[in-house]
Amino acid sequence: MIQTDSKALIATGQRTIKLEAACVEALTTRIDEHFSDACKIMLACEGRIVVTGMGKSGHIGNKIAATLASTGSPAFFVHPGEASHGDLGMITNKDVVLALSNSGTTAEILTILPLIKRMHAPLISMTGAPASILAQTADAHLDVSVAEEACPHGLAPTSSTTAALAMGDALAIALLEARGFSAEDFAISHPGGALGRRLLLKVEDIMHSGDDVPLVGENTLLSQALLVVTEKKLGMTAVIDDNGALLGIFTDGDLRRTLDNNINIQSALVSNVMTPRCKTIRPDVLAAEALAIMEEDKINALIVTDDHNRPIGALNMHDLLRAGVI
């Protein structure tokens, strides 16, 4: 009979999360010399990291291969069953094989084990059985054994697959840091979608420049400055001195404060009501950093300046939105 009691469902879900979290926490003591050896083997790899695994371990292996590949360690997944029927030709002696098997006795992996060893491809195993054939045969073994599966029958791979995935992430990030793999490197392998835009786009790629930059001199009447703000449609204008250096910014917010203080728009100078020492940004900075500045300081626009503090561009939150940075 199907149980639909809310308290029971919630309790089961919470128990599962706590149990799997404990299993992952237990892995920290196994990040040791064996882990270091596995990393060094992968870092010395002249080819690719070939990940293999059967069943649920295969699904986890596929994810690990994808994570490695996107973080600077070229990798791909090979199904062990297909490997014994021709796909083993995808593996060379310059590659490193990472084999996943919770039992360490998966028949499909053991079948290709002698062939992997014969071609002298380094082997790293990830199992829940350190005494197994696979673990003992490997050049480096990673112990991902768990106290118990979250499945109450101890049958469905749950805690064990979570532990294997976490160990794979630990490998990937350790290799990433060892290689000095940067955010820009990451972006190059993720050019599509929001992630690529956030990591590749720079301020100079999306800023308004040339005649589109709102600029007024410090002795400009506020009424004239408002015309520039309206014409350029960025909700602000930069205020500069006679040498073209930035003095401040006048925004919609400054206009509201001006009106609240009953200042005469027709006679006031923009320099008297502007915001001095405003936030600026350089053109070669990531657009995502411009977003962070705007959010932190609760502002909607930034002036882009050169080495001499002269305005060369401007952008606002709408520009970031259109570029997909937000």
Give the CATH number, domain containing residue 36.
3.40.50.10490
Indicate whether 95 belongs to any domain: yes
Q: How far apart are CA 73 and CA 177, in angstroms?
A: 11
Q: How far apart are CA 324 and CA 326, in angstroms?
A: 5
- At residue 73, the pLDDT reads 92
Is the pLDDT confidence value at 170 over 60? Answer: yes
Least trusted range by pLDDT, from 3-7, 36-40, 135-139, 310-314: 3-7
Q: What is the largest CA-CA distance in the chain?
A: 89
> Do 224 and 144 share a structural domain?
no
pLDDT > 90 in the chain, percent: 77
Give the contacts of 51 (CB within 8 A, at least 6 positions apart): 61, 62, 64, 65, 68, 75, 76, 77, 78, 97, 98, 99, 100
CA 20 to chain centre: 24
Is the pLDDT confidence value at 184 over 70? Answer: no
> Do 243 and 171 share a structural domain?
no
Characterize the bridge pairing of strands 246-251 and 49-53.
unpaired
Q: Rounded mean pLDDT of 192-196?
A: 56
Least trusted range by pLDDT, from 50-54, 121-125, 199-203: 199-203
CA dihedral 233, 236, 239, 244 (to 10 degrees): -50
- At residue 90, the pLDDT reads 84
- At residue 301, the pLDDT reads 92
- At residue 231, the pLDDT reads 94
- At residue 185, the pLDDT reads 63
> Do 130 and 51 share a structural domain?
yes
Q: What is the 3-state secondary structure (H, E, C) of the chain?
A: CCCCCHHHHHHHHHHHHHHHHHHHHHHHHHCCHHHHHHHHHHHCCCCCEEEEECHHHHHHHHHHHHHHHHCCCCEEECCHHHHCCCHHHHCCCCCEEEEEECCCCCHHHHHHHHHHHHCCCCEEEEECCCCCHHHHHCCEEEECCCCCCCCCCCCCCCHHHHHHHHHHHHHHHHHHHHHCCCHHHHHHCCCCHHHHHHHHCEHHHHCECHHHCCEEECCCEHHHHHHHHHHHCCCEEEEECCCCCEEEEEEHHHHHHHHHCCCCCCCCEHHHHCEECCCEECCCCEHHHHHHHHHHHCCCEEEEECCCCCEEEEEEHHHHHHCCCC
Indicate whether 196 belongs to any domain: no
Band (pLDDT 50/70/90 cuts) for residue 70 is confident
Band (pLDDT 50/70/90 cuts) for residue 149 is very high
Is the pLDDT confidence value at 2 over 90? Answer: no
pLDDT tens for each residue of 151-161: 888 878 899 99
69 touches 100 (CB < 8 A): no
Band (pLDDT 50/70/90 cuts) for residue 102 is very high
Closest CA to 304 of 283, 275, 279, 277: 283
> Do 158 and 28 share a structural domain?
yes
Q: Which residue has the higher pLDDT, 256 or 85?
A: 256
- At residue 198, the pLDDT reads 62
Indicate whether 191 belongs to any domain: no
CA 107 to chain centre: 37
> Do 248 and 173 share a structural domain?
no
Give the predicted TM-score (pTM) of the model.
0.64
Count of the separate structural domains present in the chain: 2
pLDDT tens for each residue of 279-303: 999 999 988 899 999 999 999 999 9
> Do 152 and 34 share a structural domain?
yes
Q: How far apart are CA 260 and CA 255, in angstroms?
A: 9
Is the pLDDT confidence value at 101 over 80? Answer: yes
Q: Is 199 exposed, middle or buried (0-12, 13-18, 19+ CB in 10 A)?
A: buried
List beta partners, residue 215.
Answer: 238
The whole domain housing 27 covers 6-181
Q: Which residue has the higher pLDDT, 264 or 187?
A: 264
Taking all residues of the chain, what is their mean pLDDT, rounded to a whole number? Answer: 91
- At residue 104, the pLDDT reads 96
Characterize the bridge pairing of strands 275-276 and 246-251.
antiparallel
Q: Which residue type does 6 have?
A: S
Indicate whether 187 belongs to any domain: no
Domain boundary among 181, 214, 232: 181
Is the pLDDT confidence value at 195 over 80? Answer: no
Indicate whether 197 belongs to any domain: no
Q: Rounded mean pLDDT of 20-26?
A: 96
Question: CA 281, 259, 229 angle in degrees (round to 5)?
Answer: 40
Indicate whether 188 belongs to any domain: no
Domain boundary among 181, 213, 237: 181
> Do 212 and 160 share a structural domain?
no
